[in-house]
Amino acid sequence: MKNLLWLLQWTLKAAIFFTLFAFALNNQDDATVHFFFGTQWRAPMVLVVLSAFVLGVVVGVLGMVPRWWRERRVAQQAQAQSSPAVTETPVAPTVAQPVQPATPPDAVHGL
């Protein structure tokens, strides 16, 4: 079972690799990216697509960094609050007291 899972994972990885490789081979024509103020960039289409992907990943990661920091700080504060203090004194066990009825038995009417 373990070998079958390993084989399926590598088959999927190989399929993704060969699909991307075929994409790169089919898109070797030059593409022009026009920026502001008349500037432009000429590069093979595969580099333009790869650059756009990498730029999107970088922007996404940079957008998540403040949230990661905030969550990390909250987790550290919660961990600091939940950890027991070392200087606590042990508490002596209490002896259970019998429960006293709210009203004495002779005050109950009708029984």
The model's pLDDT over 60-93, given as tens digits with 9 standing for 90+, comes to 999 999 999 999 999 998 888 887 655 556 666 6
Cα of first residue to Cα of last residue in the chain, in angstroms, is: 73
Give the chain's length: 111
Mean of the pLDDT values across residues 98-107? 66
Look up the pTM and report it. 0.49
Q: What band does 54 get if pLDDT is binned at 50, 70 and 90?
A: very high
DSSP H helices, the chain, are: 2-26, 45-82
CA separation for the pair 23, 46 (Å, rounded): 8
CA separation for the pair 13, 44 (Å, rounded): 25
